[in-house]
Structure 1
Amino acid sequence: MDAVQTWFAAGFNQLHPMLQDLHRHGGQLHGQIDIQYGHGLAGLVGKRFAAKFGLPLSVSSTALDVHIHSDDQALYWQRTFAGATQRQSVFSPVGYWPAGYWLEKTGAVQLVLAVQVIDGGWHWQPLQCRLFGVRIPLFCMPQVRAYKSIENSQYRFYVGVSLPVLGFLFSYSGLLELI
C-alpha cells in the first residue's frame, strides 16, 4: 500500500473518488493556471518567493503539468510550468490522519502540514515552518492556503501565500485534467 492510503487509513474514503483514484494509481494532470501577485512591496517579495517555486514572473496565465505518484515512503509532485521550469516536492508522512502530518522539504525550507478533508477535498493546514533547520515563529511564518478538490470532473487546486504585515504575496490556481 502506498504512503497516502497508509497515512489516511480509513479516512482515505472521505476523499472524493477521483482524488482517491489519483493517489491510488498516480497520474499526470494538465491545464492552464492563473497567477496573481500582490501589489507594491508585497508583489516584489511575492515574485521572489514565486520564482523559487518555478512560476513564470511575466505572465498571468500559463500551462501547468503535474505528475503525482506515491510509494510506500512518500508522496511526490513534479510540477512543470510553461513546459520548461520543473519543481519537485516530496512529502513524507508522519503518524496517521487526522492527528498526523506531512513534512515537505524544498531546499532550505521545511513545512509541517496537517490535512483537513472538506467536502471530499484535500486541504493543507500549515503547522510549522523551518528555514535552515531553525523554526520560524508563527507571527513571521508565511500564511499558506492550499487545497485540491474536484469541480465538474476536473481537479481544482489553489495555492496562495501571504505574510504578516505585507499581506498577499502571490497565488496560482486552476482546473486541471487527467491526461
Structure 2
Amino acid sequence: MENAVTQWFGDAFSRLHPMLQQLHREGGTLTGRVQIEYGPGLAGWLGRRIAAKTGAPQTTGMVGFCVEIRHSGDALQWNRTFETGAQMRSLFRPHGAFPDGYWSETTGGVELHLGVDIRDGGWRWVPQRCKLRGVSLPLWLVPRTDAYKSVVGDQYRFAVTLSLPVLGKLMSYSGNLRPG
C-alpha cells in the first residue's frame, strides 16, 4: 500500500528491515517499556522543561510505553503514550524524496527538518533545521538530537537523546517494543 513513507523512500524503502517496512506500509501499535533519563544539574532541568513542552514524562526510570503509527498519502503520525499518562504527538510531513529530501516533524511549537540515514536496515534521523514558533534557529543553539529505530531479533529498538555541547545529555528515552 502506497503512503507518504513508501513514496518518499521510493526504491530505497526495500533497504529498511522487513519489520520496519511492514510497520511503515500498514501502520500499527508498538508497546513495551522504555527507560527515561535526564542529565544532571542544569542539563536535567533543561531536559525536563523540554519534556514538559513536548508532552514527555518528567520522571526517570522504566515506564510502560505505547506508540501508534499512522500513515496517509501526505503525512506520518506518531502518537506516543507513557504509562504516566503523558502524551507526545508528532506529525511528520515529507519534503522531496530520499536521499536528499527531509521530513518536517511538528511537536508543540517546534518544527524539525529531519533527513534520514538508513543503516543496517534501521532508520536514523539526521537533524537539518529547527524552527521555534516559525522562527528558524541555528542548529548550534538547538539541542542535538540523536534518534533512530531499528530491529533486533523480533523487537523494534528505538532511542531518542537530546544533548547540548558542554552540558551533555538533557534527556533520553529508549527501549524495545513489540507489536501489540
TM above 0.5: yes
Please state how far the C-alpha of 1:107 moved relative to its aligned partner: 2.2
Gaps of 5+ in 1: none
Paired residues of 2:38 and 2:60 also in contact (CA < 8 A): no
Paired residues of 1:54 and 1:81 also in contact (CA < 8 A): no
How many residue pairs get aligned? The number is 179
2:126 maps to what in 1? 125
Please state how far the C-alpha of 1:166 moved relative to its aligned partner: 2.1
State the secondary structure of the residue aligned to 2:74. coil
Does residue 173 (structure 1) correspond to residue 174 (structure 2)? The answer is yes
Between the two proteins, what is the percent identity of the paired residues?
50
Please state how far the C-alpha of 1:7 moved relative to its aligned partner: 0.2
1:19 maps to what in 2? 20
Please state how far the C-alpha of 1:83 moved relative to its aligned partner: 5.7
Please state how far the C-alpha of 1:137 moved relative to its aligned partner: 1.2
Q: TM-score, normalised by structure 1?
A: 0.96
2:107 maps to what in 1? 106
Please state how far the C-alpha of 1:138 moved relative to its aligned partner: 2.2
Runs (4 or more) in structure 1 with deviation over 3 Å come to: none
Greater shift after overlay, 22-31 or 159-168?
159-168
Paired residues of 1:56 and 1:82 also in contact (CA < 8 A): no
Cα distance in 2 between the residues matched to 1:18 and 1:53: 28
Gaps of 5+ in 2: none
1:8 maps to what in 2? 9
Q: TM-score, normalised by structure 2?
A: 0.96
Paired residues of 1:141 and 1:164 also in contact (CA < 8 A): no
Amino acid at match of 1:54: G
Matches of residues 32-43 of structure 1 in structure 2 within 5 Å? 32-43=33-44
